[in-house]
Structure 1
Amino acid sequence: MVSLIEFYLKQLNEEAETTCKMLAMVPDDKYDWAPYAKSMDIRRLATHIAELPTWITMALNTDELDFENNAWAPTIINNTEELMALFERSLIDGRTQLVANNEHKLIESWILRSGDQIYSKNTKGETIRMALSQIIHHRAQLGVYLHLLDILIPSSYGPSANEQFEVIEVEAV
């Protein structure tokens, strides 16, 4: 039977492959672009995606994240080369924690809060699952951004609509 740690590592590795393809598509001249005023620009969104694997380390080695009392600031990236390097460092960071010796920590409590306002209280294992889900969620957002910029997005779980349309176009000729 596969342990939860092994399962999370497998999921991280599988999602990393797709995420890497998507992050690599971000054009260097579009880091300040956003689809509308209230949305994150591509720099902030892509940086968040690239940093999410570090939440595995945070979940396993802390008991909470308190936004009100945390001096965290996102890494500043200015081009896709820097973005890809950040994602690779984050993956290495997260992978180093997904080891058998940390299996017992998965049932411990972890809280996401801002001061007295608690956003979620889960186990550390559930927090890792949430971080993996956030990678997928925000990667999909990035796919929408890229699509709005007329950039053909890569497949995630089978052919993308762009790839299927290209096949239909070729077959019609």
Structure 2
Amino acid sequence: MSMAEYLLAEFESQAPVTRKFLERLPEDKLTWKPHNKSMTAGQLAYHLAFVPGGVVQGAQKDQIPPPGFQFPQPASVQEILEAFDKSIATVREVLPSFDDATMNATWRIVDGDKEIAAMPRAAFLRNIMLNHWYQHRGQFCVYLRLLDVPVPSSWGPSADERSALQPELQTA
């Protein structure tokens, strides 16, 4: 299995889990945020939807400028889910085109003539497309909990939902 196929297999297993989280965001809570310094629930959900496709597009280049951190405020959950579907389609289209030589090639973030980061493309995809995605999904999980929305299971059960690996929800 190539490196790209390996990452795609993991991505495919996690995409439906992430969608469950996004679908739980109440329409009337898009502008809610837990703290003044936090993104709104809608901004975080949109970022979660956008990350995989945006990252894999950046990985198509050998170097990119430092990313801007603008988080658009979506008008609806449907807008978030449409962005997510587009992002998923982009990953499915682009990621399989990377052979192992491309995955091992150095990928960079460059600001003018200053190199900010350099790493194998595979490490960039692992760390930002996947690990960064999971980190924001965990952050979004806290938003759902604070909004008193049932939190979906992911790798294991949540307090609200059993996982496929657990036949019964444990109660304390």
What TM-score range do you get, normalising by the shorter chain?
A: 0.7 to 0.9
Q: Given the superposition, is the C-alpha separation of residues 93 and 116 from structure 1 closer, same or farther in structure 2, using an over 3 Å criterion? A: same
After TM superposition, the structure 1 = structure 2 runs for residues 102-121 of structure 1, keeping only pairs within 5 Å, are 102-112=99-109, 118-121=115-118
2:136 is matched with: 138
2:146 is matched with: 148
More helix by share: 1
The Cα offsets for residues 111-147 of structure 1, whole Å up to 9 and x where unpaired, read as 2355566553211111110111111110010000010
Greater relative CO (CA pairs within 8 A, separation 6+): 1
5+ unaligned residues in a row in structure 2: which ranges?
163-167
2:6 is matched with: 7
2:29 is matched with: 30
Q: Distance in 2 between matches of 1:101 and 1:111?
A: 16
1:40 is matched with: 39
Of 90, 93, 106, which residue of structure 2 is paired with 1:93? 90
Q: Say if 1:111 and 1:120, in contact at 8 Å, map to a contact too.
A: yes
Name whichever of 97-106 and 126-135 sits farther off.
Answer: 97-106
Q: Given the superposition, is the C-alpha separation of residues 148 and 114 from structure 1 closer, same or farther in structure 2, using an over 3 Å criterion? A: farther
In the TM superposition, residue 33 of structure 1 has moved relative to its aligned partner by 0.8
Q: Say if 1:112 and 1:121, in contact at 8 Å, map to a contact too.
A: yes
Q: Distance in 2 between matches of 1:116 and 1:143?
A: 39
5+ unaligned residues in a row in structure 1: which ranges?
none
Q: Given the superposition, is the C-alpha separation of residues 39 and 76 from structure 1 closer, same or farther in structure 2, using an over 3 Å criterion? A: closer
Q: Distance in 2 between matches of 1:114 and 1:101?
A: 25
Q: Say if 1:67 and 1:115, in contact at 8 Å, map to a contact too.
A: no
| TM-score normalised to structure 1 length | 0.84
Q: CA RMSD in A?
A: 2.5
User: How many equivalent pairs are there?
Assistant: 165
| TM-score normalised to structure 2 length | 0.84
Q: Distance in 2 between matches of 1:37 and 1:14?
A: 34
1:82 is matched with: 79
The letter for the 1-side match of 2:117 is S
Q: Given the superposition, is the C-alpha separation of residues 149 and 119 from structure 1 closer, same or farther in structure 2, using an over 3 Å criterion? A: farther
Q: Given the superposition, is the C-alpha separation of residues 95 and 33 from structure 1 closer, same or farther in structure 2, using an over 3 Å criterion? A: same
